[in-house]
Amino acid sequence: MDNKKLQRLVVDALEDVKAQDIAVYNTTELSDLFDRVVLASGTSNRHTRSLASNVAEKVKAAGGHVVSVEGEETGEWVLVDLGDVIVHIMQPAVRVYYDLEELWGGKKVNVRLATKTTVPRAAPRKSAARKSAPRKPRAAAGDK
């Protein structure tokens, strides 16, 4: 199965089970191991496991090969290895913490999504030299 068909199949499988914030990145210039990284978020352990299971089932049904599925025990971060396409399904807090978009996000692939859902993104990291000024305490409602 070619990469475009596999990529579309993965995105459709994720959308079928209501994945959030789906992003696809072209990694051909960054790694020889795989050509695409797909990132998606699930709302709970059960949801991330369900998303990964649906991706694996749809790929197998279409005649594709699932190399492995990792992380189903905890469900916080489930990785589905499809050979040329790697799928990371994470809970929002885990996704923000590891910020894989920064690592693989050089070339985002435009993929038409059925729905537009997002999760909070990590705020840009501040350097140690630029610390913000301390906040002034707020006045109580009766202290005017």
Mean residue pLDDT across the chain: 81
What are the tens digits of pLDDT across the range 49-80?
Answer: 999 999 999 999 999 999 999 999 999 999 99
Q: What is the pTM of this model?
A: 0.74
User: Given this model, what pLDDT does residue 27 score?
Assistant: 84
CATH of segment(s) 3-109: 3.30.460.10
Between CA 103 and CA 25 the distance in angstroms is 10
What are the tens digits of pLDDT across the range 21-37?
Answer: 999 998 888 888 888 89
Pairing of the two strands 68-70 and 36-41: unpaired
Starting at the earlier edge strand, list the strands of the sheet with 108-109.
68-70, 77-81, 85-90, 36-41, 20-26, 108-109
Residue 16 DSSP class: H
22 near 39, Cβ under 8 Å?
Answer: yes
Q: Domain ranges for the chain, please list them.
A: 3-109
